[in-house]
Amino acid sequence: MARQVRRAFKYRFYPTEEQAAELSRTFGCVRLVYNKALEERTRAWHVERRRISYTQSSALLTQWKKTREFAFLAEVSCVPLQQALRHLQMAFTNFFAKRAAYPRFKSRKRSRASAEYTRSAFTWRDGHLTLAKMTAPLDIRWSRPLPQGAEPSTVTVSRDSAGRWFVSLLCKDIIPAAPATESAVGIDAGITSLVVLSSGEKVDNPRHERRDRARLAKAQRDLSRKAPGSANRDKARRRVAQVHARIADRRRDFLHKVSTRLVRENQTVVIEDLTVGNMLKNRKLARAMSDAAWRELRSMLEYKCAWYGRDLVVVDRWFPSTKLCGTCGTVRAKLPLDLREWTCECGAVHDRDVNAARNILAAGLAVTACGDGVRPQRDTSRTGRSSAKQETRRATAGALRL
Ligand SMILES: [Zn+2]
């Protein structure tokens, strides 16, 4: 059965000088409004124990525009500013629901510059996109087609640290049904491979990854040698950002291919809830597969499973996937990281990562078998207290008794 979903399509575009200036101004205002509202909400909470709602912060924005100091806020489109307040509201909602840390200020250097336009703030005609306060449509490079007859409902413009401009269009799309299958797969973050599957297959990092990393290291060395505040340092910084951007692009392409394949081929996909903190404690692991790649793959698996009506099961991170013998159920006390292959007392010889992926699959299947309709939700990993996890724990205990 095909499904209708809302999906973002992202393209590069090349702004005219005026457009770039208008957008840069808008980005600055978005950041200012977000930070000012955050400051106001923080103050109200700490000083007066009072929560400021979205409506109240919106009223504040109206007041700021009337002051001489912030009158310039009235010069850019008001929609991205309102959207910034909505994003802040969402950040607070997540914070109060204990899904996220307290919202942080957006820094000019560290955060991606972006502005979100809703339907009233752009026109879409014959495939041309024109934003509020602009006369000419954006010069978009349509690297892939939009779905037939698509009408964007929200448009997000951004500029990355390498100075490239992107526009992301949120459209309705029809996702064709994936082939019916009963297959299930367990996925583990490998040490030398990107991911290892319960089928025994190892999916390696793309070949250029190593070379790109060497390039990145060189660009960073160059940067560290430049005098602070010099024009050369700026150039070197941009170079580092470009290398970073290219690595991220290539990795994303690769992860898209891997995740689409895994989701299309399997009805059930089981992954382990690895946390970034856990992974970074181990330098070797951190080098072999950056935490960013795993997070990205996981989020792709989440939404693609939803698209295709597949089940994604996340097993508890305390589950001893690596040290558990998949054949007899014995748990080893220790398993040094450099041990690629090990032999259990029962005589079974295990490839470390494949054994882990098989155990993850078994734990995941136990969850789906005993849980009545237990399906991990998108945010279970963050709350850490989902019923799916408890089910996993129970299932694990059961497996160990065997
Ligand atoms: Zn064994």
* pLDDT interval class at 312 (50, 70, 90): very high
HSE, side-chain direction, 13 A CA sphere, residue 51: 8
| pTM (2 d.p.) | 0.76
**pLDDT per position as a tens digit, 46-72:** 998 888 999 999 999 999 999 999 999
Rounded to the nearest angstrom, the distance between the alpha carbon of 388 and the centre of ligand 1 is 27
Comparing CA positions, the residue from 167, 133, 154, 168 lying closest to residue 29 is 133
Rounded to the nearest angstrom, the distance between the alpha carbon of 384 and the centre of ligand 1 is 30
Rounded to the nearest angstrom, the distance between the alpha carbon of 322 and the centre of ligand 1 is 12
Count of beta carbons in the 10 Å neighbourhood of residue 221:
11
Comparing CA positions, the residue from 378, 361, 309, 377 lying closest to residue 195 is 361
Count of beta carbons in the 10 Å neighbourhood of residue 187:
27
Mean pLDDT over 175-204 rounds to 87
Rounded to the nearest angstrom, the distance between the alpha carbon of 324 and the centre of ligand 1 is 8
Q: Supply the residues annotated as catalytic.
A: 188, 272, 353
Q: What DSSP letter does each residue of 99-140 carry, written as one string?
A: SSPPP-PPPTTTSPEEEEEEGGGEEEETTEEEETT-SSPP-E
- Please list all protein residues whose beta carbon sits less than 5 angstroms from ligand 1, which is an ion: 325, 327-328, 330, 344, 346, 348
Question: What three-state secondary structure class fits 73?
Answer: helix
**pLDDT per position as a tens digit, 381-395:** 333 333 343 333 333
| Most distant pair of Cα atoms in the chain: their distance | 79
331, β-bridge pairs: 324
Rounded to the nearest angstrom, the distance between the alpha carbon of 331 and the centre of ligand 1 is 8
| Range name among 25-29, 196-200, 297-301, 335-339 with the lowest pLDDT average | 335-339
HSE, side-chain direction, 13 A CA sphere, residue 78: 9
**Tokens representing 262?**
């895994």
Rounded to the nearest angstrom, the distance between the alpha carbon of 325 and the centre of ligand 1 is 5
HSE, side-chain direction, 13 A CA sphere, residue 275: 12
Rounded to the nearest angstrom, the distance between the alpha carbon of 284 and the centre of ligand 1 is 27
Q: Is-contact 265 227, C-beta < 8 A?
A: no
Mean pLDDT across the chain:
84
| Range name among 217-221, 367-371, 393-397 with the lowest pLDDT average | 393-397
| % residues pLDDT > 70 (the chain) | 86
Q: What DSSP letter does each residue of 233-269 carry, written as one string?
A: HHHHHHHHHHHHHHHHHHHHHHHHHHHHHHHHH-SEE
Question: What three-state secondary structure class fits 272?
Answer: strand
CA distances from 371 to 358, 376, 395, 398 (A): 20, 11, 10, 14
SS3 content of the chain, % helix, strand, coil (to 5): 50, 20, 35
Q: What DSSP letter does each residue of 188-230 carry, written as one string?
A: EE-SSSSEEETTS-EEPPPTHHHHHHHHHHHHHHHHHHSPTT-
Which residues lie below 8 Å from residue 119, measured CB to CB, with a gap of 6+?
A: 153, 154
Rounded to the nearest angstrom, the distance between the alpha carbon of 344 and the centre of ligand 1 is 4
Rounded to the nearest angstrom, the distance between the alpha carbon of 200 and the centre of ligand 1 is 18
Provide the residue ranges of all domains of the chain, joining segments of one domain with +. Answer: 3-175, 184-313, 316-396
Rounded distance between C-alpha atoms, residue 142 and residue 248, angstroms: 20
Residue 227 has pLDDT above 70, yes or no: yes
Rounded distance between C-alpha atoms, residue 61 and residue 70, angstroms: 9
